[in-house]
Amino acid sequence: MAFRFSRAVSERSFVPFRGCAVVLFSSLLFSPLALSAAQQEPAQQTQTQQTPAQSTPAITEQAPSSQQAPTSSTPSDLPAGTTSGAQQDNVPTAVLSNRSSRKKTRKSSDDADTVKQQKKDEKVIQSKDTVKEQREMKRRLKDNPLANVNSAQPDKQLYDRALVALKKGHFDVSRLLLQDMLATYPDSEYQMRAKLAFADSWYREGGTAALTQAETEYHDFIIFFPNAPEAAEAQMRIGDIYFKQMDKPDRDYAKAVHAQEEYRNMLTQYPDSKLIPDAKQKLREVQEILATRETGIADFYEAHENYAAAIARYQTVVDTYPLFSKIDSALIGLGDAYAAQAKFVRTSPTMKNLSEDQRARLLRVYDSQAAAAYGRVVTVYSASPRVEDARDRLEAIGAPIPEPTAEQVAASQALENSRQSYNLGNRAKLLIMRSPDVVQASRVGDPSLADPKATYAPAVSKRIQEDFTAAMTGKAAATNAVVPADATAPAANTSDAGAVPAAGNTPASLSDIPAADAAASGTATGSASSITETPTGVAPVSSPGTSAGMGVTIITPGSSAVKDANNGLNSVGPRNTAELPPIEKPATAPDAVNDVSGVKTPVGQVPPQPNAKGKVKNPKPEYEGDVESSSTHKKKKGIKKINPF
């Protein structure tokens, strides 16, 4: 039993025994080192005490060598064979030394470290509770700018109670308290903040009626306090009211137009407000929505080969919204519309009847306008995603490819880098919410504060006719280019061109162009004639001398063609104006059976006969035992009970 116990103890106590052995070995190994260090410590302390004496410059001269040696006299009160500790220390006398500056430098660095340590020790580290209180105070000041004003005045107490109710969502209670305050204390110093809080209560409540009332209250606040700093906040809230009600670009855009107007008023009337950055960003997002709408309409017109309307919409986007995220697509669409017109001039059978000089003039006009649109993508928006498409189109039409400057490249890169990318959160929000897509709106740049003169489709059609007339007569039109040659400046409006120039002294000969009624016979007439060409897929209009797709009319010089009121656009109304077929007559009823003639009346047409009492009873339908059951008939049995059919 003792053997087993000792064996178990030895097995379980192996680790403690090993630890004790390690401790003993370490103490034996490091004890001499510790002893030597303890002996050297008094010597170092003595050297430290001698340092000030050595560093202090001596005023007296050095003593003679006989005085430097210490005396070896032994006091009588000491035991034999011992000396005093003072006699053993070799204390040097003061001597001149050139090493005092180094000692001072080291001392000054030590003093600097000491000062730093003291400042570090004196620095107050705020606790978590203090930081939490500061954050709470900032939040309270954001909700209530007068929260740090400690006042026992009754108007201030009413104001604080109203803001507490507003924070909790008790909007009616908050408005009642503010009304009591304004009615009871009309000359209160908190009157301005109370009126603004009253409007904020309607704004935070939300809803169409509440937002309308909030807009009215904010306008009243601006009228009463036009020079107050809070007037900028009220104007910003008016823009936010319309911003919250905006819908997607393919829906009603009236709210977006109102929001753009209010944010522009904010930027122009209060340029020194601290809310200017927020107002600029909101205006960029609103203009992103409006530009998306205009581009979608332009794409629709271009898909239906209505190039005059497409050019008008694209040109409006390019001139009004230079920070649009898809401005490169709008410029390429504008260039494609002009390129389609040039293709029409090249491939149309009617245009092939023109002379080479006349056709070259028209091609020069359309190709130059397309190249200007493509070139602006390459230069001004050189960092856009579709810059390579613009380069390919310039090579296709044989136009030179411009090179952007360093300033243009830097500005374009900054514009593209400011846009956000789509993530899972943004896509989920767009999928669930009805809010418009403003993820890729620009975060830099100044939004346009005034709309340039818009370009309309009738003006574009008129300009196309002027270009054609100028090509026919050999005279240049008043203004042909829609996209500016200088890509850094916005396009100038050219919709109001001058009148169509009259025919020159030597107009181009059109004797080789047959008239409309003599096209089959091949004979040319000297009377006025007009030849129109309608692109594929577009219905011709009723008035002569007009092309619905291009807005181009070929007119013989000197002739008086009928002016089209629609300027080449499709007329409103159905294309098929034929009369509708007459209404079909109802089928005739079958002939009745004549009982007088002796023909038997069918069973289904026999009217019920009166009984002996003179009452007419309708015959009961025949009983179907398989379908129904009754108390006067046998009940269903077996599987027929559960058969519903």
570 to 312, 316, 496: CA distances (angstroms): 16, 21, 22
Which residue is listed with tokens 């009873």? 617
Determine the Cα–Cα distance for residues 332 and 422; give it in Å rounded to an integer. Answer: 24
Instruction: Report the alpha-carbon distance of residue 339 to residue 397 in Å, rounded.
Output: 8
SS3 11: helix
Residue 621 in tokens: 């339908």
* Cα angle: 102, vertex 103, 107; to 5 degrees: 115
Residue 93's pLDDT is what?
47
Give residue 66's pLDDT: 39
Best CA proximity match to 384, nearest among 417, 430, 429: 417
Helices and strands of the chain, counted as H and E runs:
21, 2
In angstroms, the CA 397 to CA 608 distance is 91
Residue with tokens 């401005």: 327
Gap between the Cα atoms of 379 and 408, Å rounded: 7
pLDDT for res 374: 95
Question: What DSSP assignment string belongs to 20-43?
Answer: HHHHHHHHHHHHHHHHHHHHHHHH
Residue 473's pLDDT is what? 81
Tell me the two tokens of residue 311.
Answer: 């050019």
**Distant-in-sequence, close-in-space partners of 601: CB < 8 Å, separation ≥ 6:** 593, 595
pLDDT at residue 419, as a whole number: 93
Burial of 617 (0-12, 13-18, 19+ CB in 10 A): exposed
Residue 578 gets which letter from DSSP?
A: P
> The pTM is what?
0.56
**Residue of 575, 514, 577, 516 whose CA lies nearest to 541:** 575
Query: Exposed (0-12), middle (13-18) or buried (19+): which is 344, by Cβ within 10 Å?
Result: buried
Q: Tokens 């007119």 identify what position?
A: 555
pLDDT for 311 = 95
Q: For residue 356, what pLDDT is reported?
A: 85
> Alpha-carbon distance 595 to 291, whole Å?
81
Question: For each successive 10 residues of the chain (645 residues), what is the average pLDDT?
Answer: 45 50 61 57 49 40 40 43 44 46 53 76 68 65 60 83 90 94 90 92 93 95 92 95 92 94 94 93 95 95 93 95 94 94 87 83 91 94 93 93 93 93 87 86 92 91 88 65 43 38 41 43 38 41 42 50 63 78 76 60 66 76 65 68 69
Sole residue written with tokens 């009617």: 350
Question: Which tokens belong to 136?
Answer: 């709470």
Return the pLDDT at 197.
93
* Residue 627, pLDDT score: 61
Q: What's the CA gap between 304 and 538, in Å, rounded? A: 8
